[in-house]
Amino acid sequence: MEKPLTQNIRTDGTAIDLAAYERAGGYQGLRKALRMSPEEVLETVKRSGLRGRGGAGFPTGVKWSLVPRGKDAPHPKYVVANADEMEPGAFKDRFLLEGDPHQMIEGMIIAAYAVEADAAYIFLRWAYREAAVRLSKAIADAYRHRYLGKNILETGYNLEMILHVSAGRYICGEETALLNALEGKRANPRAKPPYPQTVGLWGKPTVVNNVETFCNVPHILKNGPDWFQSLSRTKDAGTKLYGASGKVKRPGLWELPMGTTAREILEEHAGGMRDGLRFRAAIPGGASTEFITEPHLDIPMDFDEIKKAGSRLGTATLIVLDDRTCPVGMLWNIEQFFAQESCGWCTPCWSGLSWVEQILGAMERGEGEEGDLEILRQQTKFMAPGNTFCALAPGAMEPLASGLTYFQEDFERHIREKRCPWKS
């Protein structure tokens, strides 16, 4: 099978340089795009069916089409790569950035051309030190070879690209909070509408896409939308970086057709559970998604199908729970993260998440009380989508709500036995 996203990634851990990237067909997608009109590029991406790989799955071409274009459009316009990747359990973008930085840069230039942007920012999390070094070099090389800067490849198109290394907060991954962070402010989310496509960075039209999304774009331009559709097993087009962490035999990351099942990922690629352990459940797409269990493992992992199992594709990097790990402890860890990383902008989030985290902590310490489960269930409703300013708290409630369903007996044992049954 074809693996366009990872075809250039070397097994020795080094990054492919510009010359090797070009020899492998790199920047051909950009050259082709620059011979087309921005409108034609946008239509090509639309027809490909590419959906955003950051987790929400919004159609990429549609997102780009909301940016005002033409001679009356406001300028400067911006394209931003969301390379924050702080969702616990997610590690796919690091792999792409470290192994093949030019791929994302090329995708960003094509996106910028399609929306007629003037500048592109890469918003990179600080912990990705190696990615920062490699991206800096790749950007400098791209400037030297006229893929960036003034009059790109003699076409008259100009684009500046800037690497911004952030100072760390999970909320920076929320696209409007990211814009505030880039502007040198606290990364509180902004009210939508207006959406960033019309009022974004410094009030100007802005497109924000995930790293993996941009990485797909050069291949779509080079090979066409029909080819992109053909890579998938389902109606969601393309390949997908799937991953697995937890007590499986071979934790890792694999580029597979969109729609690969969780069972194939876990059993064939991750090698199944470690000896002596059994699969109990998994969070399919980072810490903010609902658990799936054994009956869901044969559902294709794409945006729509996984929804039918009551979860979300998210980042498609599975976190596996085995039968000897306490689900209450796991959820406590997850909710501690969300409570700490709440930006504090709205009361249900900063207050509610702290309450949830404290209740789960008390249960793990053997201090759980009758009525705790009811409070937790209420909180999942109070912090449901629409009740908070952004998606952080609703995301935090997804694993908890599903955990309360699948692990009710485990919660009740904690309260009844006044201890964590997994601790001796």
Partner 1 sequence: MLSPEERREIEAELPLYPNKQAVCIDAMQIVQKHRGWVPDEAIQDVASLLDMAPDELDGIATFYNRIFRRPVGRHVLLLCDSVSCWVMGYERVRAHLMERLGVGLGQTTADNRFTFLPNVCLGACDRAPVMMVNEDLHADLTTEKIDTLLEDYK
Which residue of 103, 166, 210, 388 would you call a contact of partner 1, by CB under 8 A?
166
Site string for partner 1, 260-299 (x = CB under 8 A): -----------------------x---x------------
Where does 4-128 have alpha helices with state H?
18-23, 28-34, 38-48, 60-65, 92-99, 101-115
Judged by DSSP in three states, 165 sits in strand
Q: Is 169 a residue that touches partner 1 (CB under 8 A)?
A: yes
Q: Is 389 a residue that touches partner 1 (CB under 8 A)?
A: no
Q: How far is the CB of 329 from partner 1 (least distance, A)?
A: 8
Q: Is 168 a residue that touches partner 1 (CB under 8 A)?
A: yes
Q: Is 127 a residue that touches partner 1 (CB under 8 A)?
A: yes
Q: How far is the CB of 166 from partner 1 (least distance, A)?
A: 7
Which of the 8 DSSP states describes residue 296? G
**Backbone φ, ψ for residue 347 (5° rounding):** -60, -45
Which residue of 2, 19, 40, 126 would you call a contact of partner 1, by CB under 8 A?
126
Query: Residue 304 burial (CB < 10 Å; 0-12/13-18/19+)?
Result: middle
Distance in angstroms (rounded) separating the CA atoms of residues 38 and 114: 4
Q: How far is the CB of 7 from partner 1 (least distance, A)?
A: 20
Are 186 and 78 within 8 A, CB to CB? no
Where does 35-100 have alpha helices with state H?
38-48, 60-65, 92-99
Q: Nearer to partner 1 by C-beta: 236 or 341?
A: 341
Distance in angstroms (rounded) separating the CA atoms of residues 176 and 189: 5
Q: How far is the CB of 111 from partner 1 (least distance, A)?
A: 20
Region 358-387 residues binding partner 1, contact defined as CB under 8 A: none
Cβ-based neighbours of 203, under 8 Å, separated by 6 or more? none
Q: How far is the CB of 155 from partner 1 (least distance, A)?
A: 24
Tell me the window of 24-32, 35-43, 135-143, 327-335 that interacts with partner 1 (CB under 8 A).
327-335
Q: Nearer to partner 1 by C-beta: 39 or 130?
A: 130
Which residue of 28, 155, 234, 325 would you call a contact of partner 1, by CB under 8 A?
325
Judged by DSSP in three states, 4 sits in coil
Sheet holding 78-83, edge to edge: 160-165, 119-124, 78-83, 206-210
Tell me the window of 61-69, 126-134, 207-215, 219-227 that interacts with partner 1 (CB under 8 A).
126-134
Give the distance, in angstroms, between the CA of residue 346 and the centroid of all CA atoms in the same chain: 23
With b meaning 16 or more CB within 10 Å and e meaning fewer, what string describes 252-285? ebbbbbbbbbbbbbbbebbebbeeebebbbbbbb
Q: Nearer to partner 1 by C-beta: 333 or 354?
A: 333
Region 64-123 residues binding partner 1, contact defined as CB under 8 A: 76, 85-91, 93-94
Site string for partner 1, 27-66 (x = CB under 8 A): ----------------------------------------
Site string for partner 1, 300-319 (x = CB under 8 A): -----------------x-x
Judged by DSSP in three states, 219 sits in helix
- The number of residues in the chain equals 424
Which residue do the tokens 């709500």 mark?
401
Q: Nearer to partner 1 by C-beta: 130 or 226?
A: 130
Are 126 and 169 within 8 A, CB to CB? no
Distance in angstroms (rounded) separating the CA atoms of residues 157 and 41: 14
Region 227-256 residues binding partner 1, contact defined as CB under 8 A: 243-247, 251-253
Q: Is 398 a residue that touches partner 1 (CB under 8 A)?
A: no
Q: How far is the CB of 222 from partner 1 (least distance, A)?
A: 29
Q: Nearer to partner 1 by C-beta: 159 or 330?
A: 330
Q: Nearer to partner 1 by C-beta: 7 or 325?
A: 325
**Please, what is the end-to-end C-alpha distance for the chain in angstroms?**
48
- What residue ranges bind partner 1 (CB under 8 A)? 76, 85-91, 93-94, 125-130, 162, 164-170, 181-187, 202, 243-247, 251-253, 283, 287, 317, 319-322, 325, 329-330, 333-334, 336-337, 340-341, 343
